[in-house]
Amino acid sequence: MTTKNVLATLSISLLSAILAVVLYAAITKSSNIQQGNYLPVKLTSYNDAIFSGKLQRKFLSSAPTNFIEAAKVVTPAVVNIKAMQGVGATIWGRGSGSGVIISPDGYIVTNLHVIDNSSKIEIALDDQREFEAKIVGFDKSSDIALLKIEGNNYPHIIIGNSDSVQVGEWVLAVGNPFNLQSTVTTGIISAKSRNINILDADNPIESFIQTDAVINPGNSGGALVNTNGELIGINTAIVTESGRYEGYSFAVPSNLIRKVIKDLKEFGEVKRGFLGINIKKVDDEEAKKIGLSKPNGVEITRVVKNSGAEIAGLLVHDVILKINNTEINSTPELQELVARFRPGNKLVVDIFREGKVQQLTVRLQGIKKDNRNFAQELKPYFKKFGFEARNLTTSEKRISGTEGVKVISITKGKRIAKTNMEIGYIITSVNNRPIHGLFDLLLAIKEPINENITFEGIYEEYQGIYQYSFPL
């Protein structure tokens, strides 16, 4: 090989090496990760993190599988909560759980069920300091409470973007199970938008992040974080027969938490927008019937009179495909998304109607408290047909996996008794109209579509669908 060839080869090798270094630097920079602690670069302050609306990352946080730096960032900001019940110096009940400091001036997020009905709340930090906390506000629908301790310069967690979380992504759960301070466990995201019917509220919002990170008693209110150390959820519940961890746990997503704590700070309560519809998931059979290429979206089963949905022109049997360009495929997804907005906000809704996709704009209204006593209004019909029913409890919805009303008494010799219906029957539809509660039952009986009434429903102890028909 000549000297000229050697020099040419060396030059090419040198240029290749320089090009590789330049490309690596560009890729590393675009990933937006600081190699020292894996924290996001874009957000610079607590206010930016929570209230700017700038969601700080779109990349997968699980690229590093080293959890040490994330644990270092998160652990000092997770606190132990002792909630005491009593009057004055007399204490007759104690509970414990976890909380997460989300600002340097001492705001703490936890679950409402951790501090519910407490007369005194004590906070213990990871560095052993103790404080008494006051309740800023709470939201029953999401089981979130906001607390405050006096002081400044507290370690805190940046609130991340739960929408960017992916199934299969590594996460850490940090809390105080069994009063063991600052315990860290790891797992992956198992699923998103889970509804397990566990929240006991008038308008529960359940769109949980499901994870297999180990959660036990005392973890409630603790942090679920990604490997960047960003808060993506508040650990809330486990599904268990033993009372201990059995494989899956559930967290309230951070994007919903961000809206809740912003409202609690500003108003002391949550200002939640109301769309004004009931919906159900579209299955494969329904998709084929209405002409959808695949089973996606949610079908409207009821439009509330004078609601934003009715004013905008939404109709029963419309299928909602997207809201603000975000795909909707389940009731929990729609509930969580709408819950991030206030009354007066406008939502762009993509619907499928009569074979075509249309776009409507809906202005959300406030939730109107209905003081009508539907059980009282149903009394004449109960007497006429010979039965009584009530709304399902939260636990009954969870066990049965459905919504409806439960038959609690049957009068001998009346029309219902002649159908052989038994007490405990759960009515899920009347003349093919879905029944979510006593209000729907009242409408279905008061405004029947024919001369016969047909109940469809289930029994908790028996399999299958049961139908009972009787004349008006």
Residues involved in catalysis: 113, 143, 220
Closest CA to 229 of 100, 83, 96, 336: 100
Residue 262, token pair as written in the block: 């912003």
User: E strand or H helix at 183, and its extent?
Assistant: strand 183-194
Residue 163, token pair as written in the block: 């929408």
| Residues in contact with 123: Cβ distance below 8 Å, sequence separation at least 6, in sequence order | 79, 80, 81, 99, 108, 130, 131, 132, 133, 147, 149
288-297 contact pairs (CB < 8 A, 24+): 290/317, 290/319, 290/352, 291/355, 292/319, 292/352, 296/321, 296/327, 296/329, 297/321, 297/328, 297/329, 297/352
What is the amino acid identity at position 249?
A: S
Residue 108, token pair as written in the block: 């703490």
- Strand 346-353, strand 356-363: pairing: antiparallel
60 phi and psi angles, rounded to 5 deg = -75, 125
| Number of Cβ within a 10 Å radius of residue 146 | 24
Query: Where do the H-state alpha helices sit in 128-253?
Result: none
Express the helix, strand and coil content of the chain in percent, nearest 5 each: 25, 35, 40
Q: How far is CA 313 from CA 252, 290, 358, in A?
A: 32, 19, 11
The full length of the chain comes to 472
What is the amino acid identity at position 305?
A: K
End-to-end CA distance of the chain: 104
Q: What is residue 301's DSSP assignment?
A: E
Residue 430, token pair as written in the block: 């009347």
Q: What is residue 210's DSSP assignment?
A: E
